[in-house]
Structure 1
Amino acid sequence: MTDVEHELGGSIALDVETSRGSARRSMLGAIAGIPPWAGAIIGIVVIIAVWWLVAATFFHLTGSVPTPWQVAKHLAGALVDPVYWSAIAATGGAALWGYVWGNLIAFFLAFLVLVAPWFDGLATQLAVVCSCIPITAIAPIVTLLSHPGSRATSIFLAALSVIFTTVVGSLLGLRAASPTQLDVISAYGGGRITQLVKVRLIAALPSIMAALKIAAPAAFLGSVLGEYFLIGVDKGLGIMLLAAQASANPISLWTLALISGGVAGLAYWVIGLVGRLVSPWSSGEQR
Structure 2
Amino acid sequence: MTEFSEAASSVVVDGDVPGDRPSRGLGRRLAGAPAWVGGVVGVVLIVVVWGVVAVTPFGRNGAIPTPLAVVLLFGRAFGDSSYWNAIAATSLAAGEGYLIGNAIAIVLALIVLLIPRSEGLATQLAVVTSCLPLTAIGPLVAIMSDAGSRVTSVFLAALSVIFTTVIGSILGLKSANRTQLDVISAYGGTRFTQIRKVRLIAALPSLLAALKIAAPAAFLGAVLGEYFLVGVDSGIGILLLNAQFYNDATRVWVLALTSGGVAGLAYFVIDRIGRLLTPWSAGDRSRKAAF
Query: How high is the TM-score relative to the length of structure 1?
Result: 0.92
Q: Which amino acid aligns with 2:18?
A: R
Q: Which amino acid aligns with 2:53?
A: V
* 1:240 counterpart residue number: 239
Q: Structure 1 residues 89, 18: closer, same or farther in 2, change over 3 A?
A: closer
* 2:21 counterpart residue number: 23
2:56 matched to 1:50? no
Report the Cα offset of residue 199 of structure 1.
0.3
Q: Structure 1 residues 23, 61: closer, same or farther in 2, change over 3 A?
A: closer
Q: Which structure 2 residues correspond to residues 1-287 of structure 1 after superposition, within 5 A?
A: 18-20=16-18, 23=21, 26-27=24-25, 29-284=28-283
Report the Cα offset of residue 32 of structure 1.
1.8
1:131-183 CA-to-partner distances (Å, cap 9, x unmatched) read 00011111111001100001000000000000000000101111111111111
The unaligned stretches of length 5 or more in structure 1 are 1-5
Report the Cα offset of residue 14 of structure 1.
6.3
Query: In 2, distance between residues paired with 1:15 and 1:168?
Result: 51
* 1:3 counterpart residue number: none
Report the Cα offset of residue 19 of structure 1.
2.4
Report the Cα offset of residue 59 of structure 1.
2.9
Report the Cα offset of residue 34 of structure 1.
2.0
Q: Structure 1 vs Structure 2: percent identity of aligned residues?
A: 58
Q: Which amino acid aligns with 1:191?
A: T
* 2:289 counterpart residue number: none
Query: In 2, distance between residues paired with 1:80 and 1:263?
Result: 18
Query: In 2, distance between residues paired with 1:26 and 1:71?
Result: 37
1:184-209 CA-to-partner distances (Å, cap 9, x unmatched) read 11111112111111000000101100
Query: In 2, distance between residues paired with 1:90 and 1:18?
Result: 59
* 2:288 counterpart residue number: none
Q: Which amino acid aligns with 1:233?
A: V
Q: Which amino acid aligns with 2:127?
A: V
Matched pairs, number: 277
Query: How high is the TM-score relative to the length of structure 2?
Result: 0.90
The unaligned stretches of length 5 or more in structure 2 are 285-291
- SS of alignment partner, residue 234 of structure 1: coil
- Aligned-residue Cα RMSD (Å) equals 2.1
Report the Cα offset of residue 110 of structure 1.
0.3
Q: Structure 1 residues 115, 42: closer, same or farther in 2, change over 3 A?
A: same
